[in-house]
């Protein structure tokens, strides 16, 4: 049995990537996970990985003393260690430096064998990786994905905050459906039935009456039985809603925010993009816009025929991605396939003031001008087969002067797919929830 050491008052002085050959002779303390342990006769070494990268720790059998050598002998991959030692130049080591240890603390010894190799040298399929997700997330690729996601989130937040938006949090336990009852997860709420919220839509709309411009980053729950690389049953939605604005205005906001996130990731995340082997192309500042009608004409000419009024199926959006490019808007959707709160066009109520933001074949966001007139909203609720009585508390604000407003919802997990070049959304979510996965 290997005895575990305490952290005590030892603290990290440097992350591995901060140790350079300029620091020759300096004492440092590093902490991280053991990756490779090697024994080359008189020399023992291991590679320590931390959130900065990796550094080699090398001990000479003749110089380092019994205790250090026997500790290195007991190390297994993924064991957490703290190492105090001197920086030494070493031509053969990665980055030209290594640490010669004067003290090693074994903080937690990893069992063998590992459920999977987070360094990816032994390849595991996605299901196996997700089963042991907490270990899988230790891989350099996962770290890169979640750092990029974090940068995009930070850039997006900053963009909106600097334009007067207020970040809000709306309830996730709700009494009624936003759109249709079919996609709701029911839960028991004391002696009543309630549901997990599928969208912050109704709340963010009424909040424009109070806070004017709001945004929310939060979970949405969809009980759809999808089995695709882009659908989850719990996703993170980045939503905005803006008073005194039209679809056109919020498309501009979306385009600028997305462009800012792309630019910041490109500027600050090069090492992470390199780990992922992804060469990110920042789109032009103005994304092309095509109408729904133009879109079905374009794909029709290319051999994918869609009757006007139907949603665009995968072959159609695949074709559009090829024809139109990477980031583009599809505008003016038929009323039939947009939710009840979508504003019809004045000159043709069969069409709405709405848009989807696409990236190639992937839908990233949906939005539009909303109906703010209470009578029209009640009429559209009925037309969609919904009972306005169930929306009485929502309608309150509309009956008392709620201003014209517009907004959108952007899928953060899907946006991360685009920024990282992943082709499955599960790679971009820490602990994905899909039809078959409820743990971990």
Candidates 266, 363, 404, 421; binder of ligand ATP (CB under 6 A) is 363
Q: Is residue 366 part of the contact set for Mg ion (CB under 5 A)?
A: yes
Instruction: Answer for the pair 432, 426: CB distance below 8 angstroms, yes or no.
Output: yes
Candidates 81, 196, 254, 365; binder of ligand ATP (CB under 6 A) is 365
Q: Which does 413 bind (CB under 5 to 8 A by kind): Mg ion, ligand ATP, none?
A: ligand ATP
Q: Which does 365 bind (CB under 5 to 8 A by kind): ligand ATP, Mg ion, none?
A: ligand ATP
- Part in contact with ligand ATP (CB under 6 A); list of ranges 25-33, 40-48, 74-82, 362-370: 362-370
Q: What is the pattern of x (binds ligand ATP, CB under 6 A) and - over residues 380-419?
A: -----------------------------x-x-xx-----
* Closest separation in Å from C-beta 231 to ligand ATP: 4
* Closest separation in Å from C-beta 164 to ligand ATP: 23
Tally the C-alpha atoms within 13 A of residue 342's C-alpha that lie toward its C-beta.
27
Report the candidate in 217, 266, 263, 252 with the shortest Cα–Cα distance to residue 237.
217
DSSP 8-state assignment for residue 351: B
Q: Select which of 139, 156, 366, 406 is catalytic.
A: 366
Helix (H) or strand (E) run with residue 103 in it: strand 97-108
Position with the least CB separation from ligand ATP: 411
* Closest separation in Å from C-beta 135 to ligand ATP: 25
Q: Is residue 79 part of the contact set for ligand ATP (CB under 6 A)?
A: no
Question: How far apart (Å, rounded) are the C-alpha atoms in residues 28 and 83?
Answer: 8
Active site residue 133: no
* Closest separation in Å from C-beta 292 to Mg ion: 12
Residue whose CB is less far from ligand ATP, 235 or 275:
235
* Closest separation in Å from C-beta 183 to Mg ion: 12
* Closest separation in Å from C-beta 246 to ligand ATP: 18
Q: Is residue 427 part of the contact set for ligand ATP (CB under 6 A)?
A: no
Candidates 57, 240, 364, 377; binder of ligand ATP (CB under 6 A) is 364
Helix (H) or strand (E) run with residue 60 in it: strand 53-60
Candidates 12, 231, 289, 433; binder of ligand ATP (CB under 6 A) is 231
Active site residue 363: yes
Active site residue 230: yes
Question: How far apart (Å, rounded) are the C-alpha atoms in residues 80 and 246?
Answer: 54
* Closest separation in Å from C-beta 439 to ligand ATP: 19
- Part in contact with Mg ion (CB under 5 A); list of ranges 119-127, 150-158, 284-292, 365-373: 365-373
Peptide bond between residue 422 and the one before it cis (omega within 30 degrees of 0) = no
Report the candidate in 138, 135, 128 with the shortest Cα–Cα distance to residue 112.
135
Q: Is residue 56 part of the contact set for Mg ion (CB under 5 A)?
A: no
End-to-end CA distance of the chain: 29
Instruction: Answer for the pair 173, 194: CB distance below 8 angstroms, yes or no.
Output: yes
- Part in contact with ligand ATP (CB under 6 A); list of ranges 80-88, 133-141, 288-296, 364-372: 364-372
Active site residue 80: no
Q: Would you mind telling me the total number of residues written for the chain in this entry?
A: 440
Please write down the HEC assignment for all residues of 228-275.
Answer: CCCCCCEEEEEEEEEECCCHHHHHHHHHHHHHHHHHHHHHHCHHHHHH
What residues contact 251, with CB distance under 8 A and at least 6 apart? 289, 329, 331, 355, 357, 367, 408
Instruction: Answer for the pair 263, 270: CB distance below 8 angstroms, yes or no.
Output: no
Active site residue 237: no
**Where do the H-state alpha helices sit in 325-421?**
374-383, 392-399, 412-420
Specify the residue for token string 């008073």: 243
Residue whose CB is less far from Mg ion, 98 or 356:
356
Candidates 14, 49, 147, 222; binder of ligand ATP (CB under 6 A) is 222
What residues contact 411, with CB distance under 8 A and at least 6 apart? 235, 236, 237, 238, 363, 364, 365
Active site residue 366: yes
Report the candidate in 367, 356, 147, 184 with the shortest Cα–Cα distance to residue 269.
147
Q: Is residue 366 part of the contact set for ligand ATP (CB under 6 A)?
A: yes
Residue 312 in tokens: 């665009």
Number of residues that bind Mg ion (CB under 5 A): 1
**Contacts to Mg ion by CB under 5 A:** 366
Q: Would you name the residues annotated as active-site residues?
A: 222, 224, 230-231, 363, 366, 414
**Contacts to ligand ATP by CB under 6 A:** 222, 231-232, 235, 237, 363-366, 409, 411, 413-414, 425
């Amino acid at each position: 049995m290997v005895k575990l050491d305490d952290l005590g008052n030892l603290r990290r002085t440097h992350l591995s990537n901060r140790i350079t050959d300029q620091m020759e002779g300096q004492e440092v303390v590093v902490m991280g996970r053991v990756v490779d342990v090697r024994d080359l006769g008189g020399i023992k070494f291991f590679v320590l990985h931390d959130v900065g990268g990796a550094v080699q720790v090398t001990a000479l059998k003749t110089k380092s003393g019994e205790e250090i050598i026997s500790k290195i002998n007991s190390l297994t991959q993924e064991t957490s260690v703290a190492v105090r030692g001197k920086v030494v130049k070493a031509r053969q080591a990665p980055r030209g430096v290594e640490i010669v240890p004067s003290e090693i603390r074994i903080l937690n010894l990893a069992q063998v064998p590992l459920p999977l190799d987070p360094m990816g040298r032994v390849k595991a399929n996605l299901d196996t990786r997700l089963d042991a997700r907490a270990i899988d997330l230790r891989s350099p690729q996962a770290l890169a994905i979640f750092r990029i996601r974090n940068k995009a989130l930070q850039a997006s937040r900053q963009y909106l905050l600097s334009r007067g938006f207020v970040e809000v949090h709306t309830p996730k336990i709700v009494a009624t459906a936003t759109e249709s009852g079919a996609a709701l997860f029911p839960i028991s709420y004391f002696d009543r039935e309630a549901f997990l919220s599928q969208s912050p839509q109704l709340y963010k709309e009424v909040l424009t009456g109070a806070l004017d411009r709001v945004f929310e980053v939060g979970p949405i729950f969809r009980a759809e039985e999808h089995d695709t690389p882009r659908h989850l049953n719990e996703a993170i939605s980045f939503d905005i809603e803006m008073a005194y604005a039209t679809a056109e205005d919020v498309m501009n906001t979306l385009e600028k925010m997305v462009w800012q996130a792309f630019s910041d990731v490109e500027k600050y995340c090069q090492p992470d993009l390199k780990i992922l082997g992804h060469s990110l192309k920042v789109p032009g500042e103005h994304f092309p816009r095509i109408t729904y009608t133009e879109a079905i004409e374009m794909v029709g000419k290319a051999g994918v025929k869609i009757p006007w009024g139907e949603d665009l199926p995968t072959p159609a959006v695949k074709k559009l991605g090829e024809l139109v490019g990477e980031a583009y808007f599809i505008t003016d959707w038929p009323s039939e396939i947009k939710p009840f709160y979508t504003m019809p066009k004045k000159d043709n109520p069969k069409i709405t003031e709405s848009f989807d933001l696409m990236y190639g074949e992937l839908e990233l966001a949906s939005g539009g001008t909303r109906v703010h007139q209470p009578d029209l909203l009640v009429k559209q609720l009925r037309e969609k087969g919904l009972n306005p009585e169930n929306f009485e508390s929502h309608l309150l604000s509309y009956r008392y002067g709620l201003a014209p407003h517009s907004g959108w919802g952007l899928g953060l997990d899907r946006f991360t797919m685009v920024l990282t070049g992943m082709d499955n959304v599960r790679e971009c979510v820490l602990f994905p929830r899909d039809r078959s996965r409820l743990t971990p």
